[in-house]
A and B are shown apart, each in its own frame.
Chain A
Amino acid sequence: MIPCRRKGPQVSSSAIHKAFLAALEPCRPALGAFCSRMVRDRADLEDALQTTLLEAYRKFDSFRPGTDFRAWVFQIAAFTALSLNRRRAKAPEPLADDPLAAPEELALELDYDALLAHPERVRERLSDEACRALDSLSENERAIFLLKSIGGLTCAEVAQALSLPMGTVMGLLARARGKLREALTEYARREGILSEEPRP
């Protein structure tokens, strides 16, 4: 049970401090990964982490016990990272993809089927490639995908965290997944991974 200043008996500051750290502990690996993947500039990683923790700590008064601390703290992390990225505003948002020509689309589809059949072939190199592919997503697409896949938030929680309509979240999530799969398939095809014989 997380103590709260607003309701119930008075709780000491140190108890609240401990409660915050206890609630934060299980979220740490995912929160670190989320900040790592969300910031556009590596130099902002520590800023993102520090600001997220300070903001969450400062607003811990407003956290309602009984609600999901994880979703709450990821909401703060998303807001922090998006603000830092906006401040940097180095790179313009990626332009919308041109629709693929039909033959290309078909070839990609076939290769994607091959990738699906043997995802383990790209596993070793997946991390770098997935991070690169993530970087190519728009801010909202990346935030939504990461809040879902790393943060473990539901679409409703993501919608609330980013103040976006639920339908928009679902649409952008589908688009992000499509782009990631496309990027990985192209990578695997380029590297000739899909034409290798299956490993025993």
Chain B
Amino acid sequence: MTCDDVRKFLGPFLDSELDARTSYELGLHLNDCASCRDRVERERRLEAELASAAGRDDTTPEMWNRALGRLQPKRRWWPWAAAALLLAAGSAALLLPARPDLLRTAIADHGELLEGRFAPDVATPDGDRAAAYLRERVPVAAVLPANAPDCLLVGVRLCFFHGHPVGLVIYSLHEGSASLFLVPNSEMPSFDHAEGGTLQEHGLFAMLCPVEGAEFSVVAVGPAAARAEVERLATAVGSR
């Protein structure tokens, strides 16, 4: 092997990616050639400096906290609850052609979120950005609650309640996740339980909250243990 060969194989050699035979021959050459040995050592140092410089981390502890706060253990009750809901809905359908229940639909969608079946379209802690994303897709001109230490905006997503478009805003609370579904008032006649009220099922709490002067309503869902925070979130939504 020549000094030119060494330069040619330098990168793979530094990465330990050379085949055994070429690596052996290169090693033999390095044993005999001080100049190449020196070169390899310098390249190794420069590579380490580059890796160290490129390894600058611009993420902040707050970013990590927000990201990790969104990871929730999967709930095993969900498949059973879904089956029970389907069974109940199926039985009811035999008796009368009922419209879907708004609060139960919201709880079911929130359950899917907890299951990790879908993620936000846009993950952002920025309320204005989140609202702008929804405004372009659903007729809801909302002002979303700003972040507080115990309630962080995670992201937004376009959802469909039985084919009706609604905006979903996801928050992270100490006790778990909360969802705010922004439902255009024009879609309300398609649902039961759309005149207001609350519902508690499977450890989750849901409430419907009209927004004064707005053309949409908020359905908030979150852990029953955090009912007060969920209510506060729901009532904090404003309109433009």
Contacts and interface: CB of A to CB of B under 8 A. Distances in A.
Interface of A: 13-14, 16-17, 20-21, 28-30, 32-33, 35-37, 42, 45-47, 49-51, 53-55, 57-58, 115-117, 119, 123, 126-127, 129-131, 134, 145-146, 148-150, 154-155, 170, 173-174, 177, 180-181, 184
B100 to A, nearest CB: 27
B42 A126 contact: no
A28 B67 CA distance: 12
Contacts of B122: 47
B54 A53 contact: no
A155 B71 contact: no
Given A20-B71, A35-B59, A50-B155, A119 B45 contact: yes
Given A32-B57, A58-B119, A131-B54, A123 B39 contact: no
B15 A150 contact: no
Contact of A150 (B45, B54, B116): B54
B67 A116 contact: no
| Most chain A C-beta atoms within 10 Å of own C-beta, residue among B12, B71, B75, B116 | B71
Q: Is the interface of B mostly helix, strand, loop or mixed?
A: mixed
| Most chain A C-beta atoms within 10 Å of own C-beta, residue among B43, B45, B49 | B49
A149 B54 contact: yes
A144 to B, nearest CB: 11
Given A126-B49, A134-B54, A149-B54, A54 B119 contact: yes
A36 B58 contact: yes
Interface in B137-194: 154-155
A130 B74 contact: no
B51 A116 contact: no
Contact of A32 (B42, B64, B73): B64
Contacts of B66: 46, 50
Contacts of A155: 15, 17
Nearest to A129: B53
A131 B53 CA distance: 7
Given A20-B71, A116-B42, A126-B49, A36 B116 contact: no
A46 B71 contact: no
Nearest to A14: B73
Contacts of B124: 46-47
B70 interface: yes
A136 B58 CA distance: 19
Contacts of B95: none
Contacts of A148: 15
B168 to A, nearest CB: 15
Contact of B42 (A13, A28, A50, A119): A119
19 contacts: A17-B72, A29-B55, A33-B54, A33-B56, A37-B54, A37-B56, A45-B58, A47-B123, A50-B66, A50-B155, A51-B119, A54-B71, A54-B116, A119-B49, A126-B50, A126-B53, A129-B53, A149-B50, A177-B11
